[in-house]
Structure 1
Amino acid sequence: MPYHTNNLVLHIHFVLDKITYPGWEDVRNLVNVHSLYWIHGGEGTFLTNTEHKVQAGMLAYLKPGLEMSMRSEPHAPLRMTMVLFDCAELIYDVMWGEVKPINKLTLPFLSQYPPKQAEELGELFREAHEDWFAGIAAGASIAQSKLQILLHRLHQIEQPDWNLAESGAFAAFEQIKKHLEGSYRENLRIEQLAKEYSISASYLRKLFLKYTGMGPKEYLNHLRNQQACGYLQFTDYPVKEVGRLCGYFEEFHFSKMFKLLNGVSPSAYRAMQRRGEQHPEKKD
């Protein structure tokens, strides 16, 4: 991915809850911004250089510059939430970096989501619209926060395979991922978690690689490392205590893993942060 979702900064131009009528037609007018079209209900067609049939539970992402026309089916008018926005990447590492406008997000033009995920995404779009509409007079910071959550979620789940997303294996992957994120301090064993959620360890690894870019053990180490960096930079806890808070019960093991991921020991990392120096390129 050419950017990290944690570094996105956003500006919303407009959020619209669009209820169309039978046979409705329209053209995308503002083409120099990013656009998201979430289909809450109905059926219709989005036309670029190709016709795309759309229905409830689908999301269209339009990059800046892409022209598109739309129409509703006479028997099932579309109900959509439209979000028009600009976005850029702004990285902070000891000091602020330059703002880098993003020309295209790594999202597919059209995505179809299964019922559980569609319900979650639809609610996020409804909340973004409600917060935007309520905040017109005082700004749209809450709506922009909701949009950041929404974009993070869209990048996280990517374009799901319908059959996989409906399967117990995908549900097991999501549950194990949440378990790691909430319990990284504990002495976790991936093989035991896979057994508890009735998924093979090899297939679990395959899903983690597909949806996070890391295996489950790597993902757990990544979570622990992120927390450790924060403790070292912003607290005076001894290194041994930092390791314990992040799930490492032996100081030697913690220091060894930390140096492997960050290129320096925990103590050296803390000293560099206190001096305002940038640390070596991380490996996680």
Structure 2
Amino acid sequence: MEININEIIDYYAKSSTSFAGMFFEKREFNDSNVVIDRRTNPFCGGLIISLMGNAHVTLNGTEYMINPGIIVHAGPNMRVCIKNSDDKPWRLAVIHYRIPENEMSCMTFFGSHFSFAIGENIKIPDLIQQLFLSQSSPGSLALFKTKLLFTNLLGEFFDSAKRQLTDNNSKLTETVMEYIRQNHAEQISISQTASYFGLDRRRLAALFKHHVGMTPSNYLIECRILKAKELLQSCSLPVKQVAECVGYSDSLYFSKAFKKITGISPSEFRESGAQSSEDEI
């Protein structure tokens, strides 16, 4: 199955992912009839990346066509079958990772299979080769470099995937985001914003879900709270006036929204900032 890239990024951002090893699979011209048929690692999630050629990868009965520009995720202990899609050779990298056992029940993507498109990226084969060599080197420095390379590789995957979304809808969404950032202090609503750009509210919500990974309302709130944090730390305006400066006419509602995002009240945030300044001095 295909999953929204923002949901995938959110999964890796929130899970305690750790590199667990990697290897290569390849088929040459004279191996055209050979089929890989086994089960995936029982304890790890896996990312299958094509470095050359095309192959059919089947996970628990679901088939994916994999080629440079497509990544397939496999969950633990899945039936996996890999075979040629044509008579040309192919080469795959398989990267294993772990998450803590206590996260497995809430991080459902770990046990799922899915694919996402990243397009062709000349940096990725080099990063994969560096990761492969680094994992075999002894010592703490090599271990640190391996962790860093794994993180950098994931970042490159996601940067490439996001670039695939650069189309007219993406540009429109970025324009709306800029409008919200510039006008967050005004009494704007999402319905008014949608109408301003000739959209209905549902269409705007769909664009934000696809390109931003959150609703327009949540994006507006985050813009307001971000500015409020800046004001609370840089000036002595009362909380009521800070609320008005970022678009909230009701200071109680502002305080609730602020605490929901940050975990503390505006006053507590201001006090914690002042205490940090004193500590630094």
Correspondence 1:8 to 2:15:
yes
User: Separation in 2 of the partners of 1:143 and 1:199?
Assistant: 44
Q: CA deviation at 1:131?
A: 4.1
TM-score (norm 1): 0.61
| Counterpart residue number, 1:46 | 57
Where does the alignment leave 5 or more consecutive residues of structure 1 unmatched? 89-98, 276-284
Q: Percent identity of the aligned residues?
A: 14
Q: After the TM superposition, which residues 157-172 of structure 1 pair with which residues of structure 2 at under 5 Å, given as runs?
A: 168-172=168-172
- Please list every run of 5 or more consecutive structure 2 residues that lacks an aligned counterpart in the other structure: 1-6, 276-281
Q: Does 1:109 align with 2:113?
A: yes
| Matched residue, 2:219 | 219
**C-alpha separation in 2, matches of 1:250 and 1:193:** 19
| CA deviations over 1:128-165 (Å, ceiling 9, x no partner) | 414423533312121232255368669x97xx9xxxx6
Contact 1:45 1:51 in 2 (8 A): no
**What amino acid maps onto 1:237 in structure 2?**
S
* Residue 112 of structure 1, CA deviation: 5.1
Cα offset for 1:52? 1.1
Q: Among residues 22, 27, 31, which one is paired with 1:20 in the alignment?
A: 27
Normalised by the length of structure 2, the TM-score is: 0.61
Whole-angstrom CA distance in 2 between matches of 1:223 and 1:266: 15
**Partner residue in 1 for 2:151:** 145
Aligned counterpart, 1:237: 234
Compare CA radii of gyration and give the structure with the larger one: 2
The one-letter amino acid of 1:253's match is Y
Question: Residues 127 and 146 of structure 1 are in contact (CA less than 8 Å); yes or no, is this contact kept in structure 2?
Answer: no
Q: Name the CA distance, whole Å, in 1 between partners of 2:231 and 2:23.
A: 42
State how far apart, in whole Å, the 1-side matches of 2:123 and 2:15 are: 18
Q: 1 CA distance for matches of 2:159 and 2:240?
A: 29
Aligned pairs for 1:239-254 (under 5 A) are 240=237, 250=245, 253=248
- Aligned equivalent of 2:119: 118
Residue type at the aligned position of 1:106: F
* Match in the other structure for 1:200: 199
Distance 1:18 1:210, change over 3 A: same
Query: CA offset at residue 184 of structure 1?
Result: 7.5
Q: CA RMSD in A?
A: 4.7
The more displaced of 65-74 and 141-150 is 141-150
The whole-number CA distance in structure 1 between the counterparts of 2:14 and 2:71 is 23
Distance 2:99 2:56 in 1: 27
Deviations 1:218-253 (A, max 9, x none): 213224535755886xxx533659999x9x882673
| Structure 1 contact 17–79 (Cα < 8 Å) conserved | yes
Asked whether the 8 Å contact 1:38–1:125 carries over to 2, the reply is: no
Cα shift at 1:102: 2.6
Counterpart of 1:32 in 2: which secondary structure?
Answer: coil
For 1:129, the equivalent position in structure 2 comes to: 128
Question: Are the structure 2 counterparts of residues 150 and 228 from structure 1 closer, same or farther at C-alpha, using a change threshold of 3 Å?
Answer: farther
CA distance in 1, matches of 2:222, 2:39: 41
> How far has the Cα of 1:4 moved from its partner?
5.6
Q: d(CA) in 2 for partners of 1:231 and 1:18?
A: 55
Q: Distance in 2 between matches of 1:125 and 1:132?
A: 10
Cα distance in 1 for partners of 2:198, 2:92 equals: 37
Contact preservation (8 Å) 1:5, 1:151: no
Q: CA deviation at 1:13?
A: 1.7
Are the aligned partners of 1:41 and 1:80 in contact in 2 as well (CA < 8 Å)?
yes
1:228/1:148 CA distance change after superposition, 3 Å: farther
Q: CA deviation at 1:10?
A: 2.1
CA 49–186 in structure 1, closer or farther in 2 if over 3 Å, else same: closer
Structure 1 counterpart of 2:115, one-letter code: S
Q: CA deviation at 1:208?
A: 1.3
Residues 254 and 9 (structure 1), Cα distance of their counterparts in 2 relative to 1, 3 Å cut = farther
What number of residue pairs does the alignment pair up? 243
SS in 2 for 1:118: coil
Kept after mapping to 2: 8 A contact 1:15/1:81: yes
